[in-house]
Amino acid sequence: MANELPDKDTINGIITIDKEKNWTSHDVIAFIRNHFGIKKAGHGGTLDPNATGLLIVLLGNATKLSDTFLNHDKEYLCRVTLGETRDTGDIEGNILSVSNVTATHEEILSAIFELVGEIEQIPPMFSAKRHNGKRLYELARKGIAIERKPSLIHIKEIEIIDIKIPDIIFKVLCSKGTYIRGLAVSIGEKLSCGAYLSDLRRLKSGNFDLSKSFTPSQLKTMEKNKFYESVSRI
């Protein structure tokens, strides 16, 4: 019948979520599974709990495409705060040092645009990258630091939105494997004042953006029919 819901085991497709703060990527997936009766669901690239924006949710057989989405270029809207270093490189971390920001507008621009192109980046200790089967952040929380090999990444484009010291807001288009908190730390090092990532929003992943996405809050009141209709089938 036309009004019947599809079987939860036959939902194969993609839906884009505009993740809100304080939701982990796993929280979103678990909610969708439980609330809409979806048996199999995953995502195409995690977001930190304090980050917002595009989370690509893969349903059914679409979960096999996870690696494809991980390889996509990503676009982010970032806010970097100068004058502090934090152990995690982002707003969740403990403050390690505080400095006066004496850099000029021109020096700030120079430090940012030096990052454009192919650069080597060392994965932060507070990251989901694995070492001998363990996530680096699991080791970091135990006070363990290990030597990490740098990875080659490509910062394809940076667009400055606003500079009001101590905050810098910009968009960045980058390759897979880029740690935005790592870019923030690099900017602070170049300016000799320290910096951390104070806000992050993912805008795009490959050809997917936020134009047809739903927040977790919207999902809570969404009927199953509407959810299933919103899935892009594969």
As annotated, the active-site residues are 48
Give every CB contact of residue 30 below 8 A, 6+ residues apart in sequence. none
β-partners of residue 121 are 151
Q: Which tokens belong to 153? A: 């990444």
β-partners of residue 169 are 79, 162
Q: Residue 17: what are its φ and ψ, rounded to 5°?
A: -115, 140
Q: Which tokens belong to 112? A: 């940012």
In 10 A of CB 229, how many CB atoms?
A: 9
Q: Which tokens belong to 199? A: 């806000």
Site of tokens 């929280």 = 27
β-partners of residue 204 are 75, 209
CA distance 170 to 206: 19
In 10 A of CB 172, how many CB atoms?
A: 21
Give every CB contact of residue 137 below 8 A, 6+ residues apart in sequence. 125, 126, 127, 128
In 10 A of CB 9, how many CB atoms?
A: 11
- For 187, half-sphere exposure in the C-beta direction (CA atoms, 13 angstrom radius) is 32
